A and B are shown apart, each in its own frame.
Chain A
Amino acid sequence: MDFWFSEAHTPNVKISIRVDKQLFSTQSDFQRIDVFESPEFGRFLTLDGYMMLTEKDEFIYHEMITHVPMAVHPNVKNVLVIGAGDGGVIRELARYKDIERIDMVEIDEEVVEVCKKYLPKTACAFDDKRLNIYYEDGLRFIRFCKNEYDLIIVDSTDPFGPGEGLFTKEFYGNCYKALKDDGIMVNQHESPFYTEDAMAMQRAHKRIVESFPISRVYQAHIPTYPSGHWLFGFASKKYHPLKDLNEKKWNKNKFPCKYYTTTLHKGAFYIPAYVEELLKDVE
């Protein structure tokens, strides 16, 4: 039997992963949710047919979206996470003992339930006492928040489908309002490589630049995402992602990270020339 999962990265490019079996499939109120078992990547989750995470490479995304801002901000007590139904970001945040409160806003409760059941390696910290989960539209939730959070992590899906509202100026503006005077927002920032993705990436960057005084982009290598070259946005009211990096303090944590190091942190902000060009175009 030849059983493959394929995702079109562009109309002319696709990636295929051999599948052992499909573990789960459902249509929630918002999207189609599937979980597969594969020989190469272990279990993986797709939403509306788009790869969200695989057991083999999810650590890259979750470490990079969490530890970069945590190593910069000196005193994170209140964190808001938008999306993150797979639990990976929560797992990374839960390592920090000084965090007092984690509010997580996920639009689709079924994603959380499915991940708890089929992806226990990421969905392992949902019982953390500091965590409050709100099942609603992130855009709506944040409308009512003001001067409340030290860090906002936007762990969204792509800018089409249910996640579209999380790539808008109204969302970034509301994030600015929800952050304290020295708050940081980090977001999943799409890929610069394929034309359509690059345009979405530019749009997001433009909207963030309009909303925050400091807005930088950093990168990571994620094999199962389109082109493998992925970006994150670092938007901040006060702290600079490199000048305010406190390596010594962060390294005292001695977290068992597989991708993130404070040295890589610095390197991640040095991006290819064509990406700099794309960003400059919209700044």
Chain B
Amino acid sequence: MNKLSQERAPIYEALQNFRRKRIVPFDVPGHKRGRGNPELVELLGEKCVGIDVNSMKCLDNLCHPVSVIRDAEILAAEAFGADYAFLMVGGTTSAVQSMVLSSVKKGEKIILPRNVHRSVIGALVLCGAIPVYVNPECDKRLGIPLGMKVSEVERAIKENPDAKAVLVNNPTYYGICSNLKAIVDIAHKNNMLCIADEAHGTHLYFGENLPVSAMAAGADMAAVSMHKSGGSLTQSSLLLAKNTVSEGYIRQIINLTQTTSGSYLLLSSLDISRRNLALRGKENFKKVMEIAEYARKEINKIGGFYAYSDELINGDSIYDFDRTKLSVFTLDTGLAGIEVYDLLRDEYDIQIEFGDLGNILAYISIGDREREIERLVSAMSEIRRVHSKEKMDFIVPEYISPVVAMSPNTAFYAEKESLPIDETKGRVCSEFVMCYPPGIPILAPGERITEEILEYIKCAKDMGCSMTGTEDPYIEKLNVLKGEF
């Protein structure tokens, strides 16, 4: 009965027992099962506020788990094929940051694709590590960043043999995977850790006919967004690790920034979702895949829209494609992805995940039913009928290798000034300049502004790319470090 198995959900069970005990609360939270805040109970319901409780003996403690949270972590590790799993309540951002902070220290190098999530750069600002960027290939037609070529990673490793870790997106937002296994092997051969941002990869651990997961590929750590494809509550996440890294050290790093009052709503949602994935994940994701494939087929029948899939696979920068993703290229209808995104929401009451210049992404998950897919497809069919325009041509600007002058940490804390963009040549940038498409930073904090980059920004602006990240929304001024470096 008390044996740990995937049918169990230790935190959930402890909360059930806790409720039956009718313990009188003279501890936080102060709403005391909602009695002190009736409006909150009205909003969330009694069940929900009743388990919004503090760490205590029978419920364990997230900072130093020894009982039910520990058991839940052991079960999660087993379910994901990891040696250790850490329940995270600060979003996948905190999982990614703990993973990076556990891998590199001040002044050490980390190899990563240029299209990393901002949380990674945030971690570098915190710890003072030096980024070595690898050019993610870009699909010329779709205008989206792809995976890292193995040869590019090899080159970066050769040029930076002192690097400590290689980070891989598995998969990207659009569902594109690098050859993770090969990258893990090269990294390990060169005594580097391989860590994976799997914010969009929870389902890879449970579904069939999907790209390889980080743990299965032999990676050392992975940040897994349980609240995306895994079905848990927003802000709950998992950090997975192999025994090639120290469990105790990772826990110390996590405890530097994670709350000491971990929410039991989030923790129990991780526990229950892990159980569901372990027991029913295979069939659930089979259904998700079928729905995504159906939607793709129907959208491609409309004409003008291109819902792409594994036909993109090229053996290297698109080593694999996650077919549960529904990404659609829209430019042939004369509509930008962001226009379709807005029309779907404003005219058809359909909220999709995002739209960029050339693409939209509709998130398909275990919560979807056929009838909502019919609405999405029908709305897109109507958008084409009513709104389509002359086809737009678009050229995705070529990638420029960044010149990293100093760590993002040094740049972040240095004194800065705002200059007209034409006067910034040779200076060190202190902010991001993002360009969509392809959604890759042109500049990040600590990088040298070159003639070539200024040319690129001008060119991208002329072509109608959307530029973001800077304090000045028109990118006529840039924040740079005071003085020469």
User: Which residues from chain A sit less than 8 Å from chain B, CB to CB?
Assistant: 137, 139-140, 142-143, 162, 164-165, 168-171, 173-174, 177
Tell me whether B381 is interfacial, beta carbon within 8 Å: yes
Residues A162 and B381 in contact, CB atoms below 8 Å apart: no
Contact of A170 among B298, B370, B371, B381 (CB under 8 A): B381
Residues A169 and B374 in contact, CB atoms below 8 Å apart: no
Residues A143 and B378 in contact, CB atoms below 8 Å apart: yes
Tell me whether B348 is interfacial, beta carbon within 8 Å: yes
Measured in the bound complex, the distance between the Cα atoms of B375 and A162 in whole Å is 12
Residues of B within 8 A of A174 (CB): 378, 381-382
Nearest residue, chain B, Cβ from A169: B348
Residues of A within 8 A of B374 (CB): 137, 139-140, 165
Interface size on B, residues (CB 8 A): 15
Residues B371 and A165 in contact, CB atoms below 8 Å apart: yes
8 pairs of A and B residues whose beta carbons are closest in the complex: A170-B378, A170-B379, A173-B382, A139-B374, A140-B374, A170-B382, A137-B374, A139-B378
Q: Looking at chain B's contact residues, is the secondary structure mostly helix, strand, loop, or mixed?
A: helix
Tell me whether B377 is interfacial, beta carbon within 8 Å: yes
Residues B385 and A169 in contact, CB atoms below 8 Å apart: no
User: Which residues from chain B sit less than 8 Å from chain A, CB to CB?
Assistant: 298, 347-349, 370-371, 374-375, 377-379, 381-382, 385-386
Measured in the bound complex, the distance between the Cα atoms of B411 and A66 in whole Å is 73
Smallest beta-carbon distance B78→chain A, Å: 35
Residues of A within 8 A of B298 (CB): 140, 143
Measured in the bound complex, the distance between the Cα atoms of B379 and A177 in whole Å is 13
Residues B371 and A169 in contact, CB atoms below 8 Å apart: no
Measured in the bound complex, the distance between the Cα atoms of B379 and A142 in whole Å is 12
Measured in the bound complex, the distance between the Cα atoms of B371 and A140 in whole Å is 9
Residues of B within 8 A of A168 (CB): 348-349, 375, 378-379
Measured in the bound complex, the distance between the Cα atoms of B302 and A177 in whole Å is 14
Given the interface pairs A139-B375, A143-B381, the reply to whether A173 lies near B386 with Cβ below 8 Å is: yes
Measured in the bound complex, the distance between the Cα atoms of B375 and A164 in whole Å is 9
Given the interface pairs A143-B381, A173-B386, the reply to whether A162 lies near B371 with Cβ below 8 Å is: yes
Contact of A171 among B347, B378, B386 (CB under 8 A): B378
- A selection of 19 A-B contacts at a CB cut-off of 8 Å is A137-B370, A137-B371, A139-B371, A139-B374, A139-B375, A140-B378, A142-B378, A164-B371, A165-B374, A168-B348, A168-B349, A168-B375, A169-B347, A169-B348, A170-B375, A170-B379, A170-B382, A171-B378, A174-B382
Nearest residue, chain A, Cβ from B377: A143
Residues of A within 8 A of B382 (CB): 169-170, 173-174, 177
Measured in the bound complex, the distance between the Cα atoms of B361 and A155 in whole Å is 33
Nearest residue, chain A, Cβ from B379: A170
Residues of A within 8 A of B385 (CB): 173, 177
Measured in the bound complex, the distance between the Cα atoms of B371 and A170 in whole Å is 13
Nearest residue, chain B, Cβ from A146: B385
Residues of B within 8 A of A170 (CB): 348, 375, 378-379, 381-382
Smallest beta-carbon distance A30→chain B, Å: 9
Measured in the bound complex, the distance between the Cα atoms of B382 and A143 in whole Å is 9
Residues of B within 8 A of A143 (CB): 298, 377-378, 381
Nearest residue, chain B, Cβ from A139: B374
Measured in the bound complex, the distance between the Cα atoms of B373 and A140 in whole Å is 10
Measured in the bound complex, the distance between the Cα atoms of B298 and A169 in whole Å is 19
Measured in the bound complex, the distance between the Cα atoms of B374 and A174 in whole Å is 12
Nearest residue, chain B, Cβ from A137: B374
Besides A139-B374, A169-B379, A170-B379, 9 other CB < 8 A contacts? A137-B370, A137-B371, A143-B298, A164-B371, A168-B378, A168-B379, A170-B381, A173-B385, A174-B381
Smallest beta-carbon distance B294→chain A, Å: 10
Residues of B within 8 A of A173 (CB): 382, 385-386
Residues of A within 8 A of B347 (CB): 169
Nearest residue, chain A, Cβ from B385: A177
Measured in the bound complex, the distance between the Cα atoms of B348 and A142 in whole Å is 17
Smallest beta-carbon distance B212→chain A, Å: 35
Smallest beta-carbon distance A159→chain B, Å: 12
Smallest beta-carbon distance B345→chain A, Å: 12
Nearest residue, chain B, Cβ from A162: B371
Smallest beta-carbon distance A137→chain B, Å: 5
Nearest residue, chain A, Cβ from B380: A170
Measured in the bound complex, the distance between the Cα atoms of B382 and A177 in whole Å is 9
Residues of A within 8 A of B370 (CB): 137
Measured in the bound complex, the distance between the Cα atoms of B146 and A260 in whole Å is 64
Smallest beta-carbon distance B31→chain A, Å: 26
Q: Which one of B349, B370, B382, B385 has the greatest number of beta carbons of chain A within 10 Å?
A: B382
Residues of A within 8 A of B375 (CB): 139, 165, 168, 170
Measured in the bound complex, the distance between the Cα atoms of B375 and A174 in whole Å is 11
Measured in the bound complex, the distance between the Cα atoms of B386 and A168 in whole Å is 15
Measured in the bound complex, the distance between the Cα atoms of B268 and A11 in whole Å is 32
Measured in the bound complex, the distance between the Cα atoms of B378 and A164 in whole Å is 13
Measured in the bound complex, the distance between the Cα atoms of B298 and A168 in whole Å is 19
Residues of B within 8 A of A140 (CB): 298, 374, 377-378
Smallest beta-carbon distance A138→chain B, Å: 9
Residues of B within 8 A of A164 (CB): 371
Smallest beta-carbon distance A135→chain B, Å: 13
Smallest beta-carbon distance B272→chain A, Å: 25
Measured in the bound complex, the distance between the Cα atoms of B378 and A162 in whole Å is 16
Smallest beta-carbon distance B45→chain A, Å: 16
Smallest beta-carbon distance A11→chain B, Å: 14
Nearest residue, chain B, Cβ from A173: B382
Measured in the bound complex, the distance between the Cα atoms of B386 and A140 in whole Å is 18
Smallest beta-carbon distance A80→chain B, Å: 15
Measured in the bound complex, the distance between the Cα atoms of B298 and A142 in whole Å is 13
Smallest beta-carbon distance A161→chain B, Å: 9
Residues of A within 8 A of B349 (CB): 168-169
Q: Which one of B349, B374, B386 has the greatest number of beta carbons of chain A within 10 Å?
A: B374
Residues of A within 8 A of B381 (CB): 143, 170, 174
Measured in the bound complex, the distance between the Cα atoms of B348 and A162 in whole Å is 18
Smallest beta-carbon distance A265→chain B, Å: 32
Nearest residue, chain B, Cβ from A107: B371
Residues of B within 8 A of A142 (CB): 378
Measured in the bound complex, the distance between the Cα atoms of B377 and A174 in whole Å is 11
Q: Which one of B298, B370, B378 has the greatest number of beta carbons of chain A within 10 Å?
A: B378
Smallest beta-carbon distance A142→chain B, Å: 8
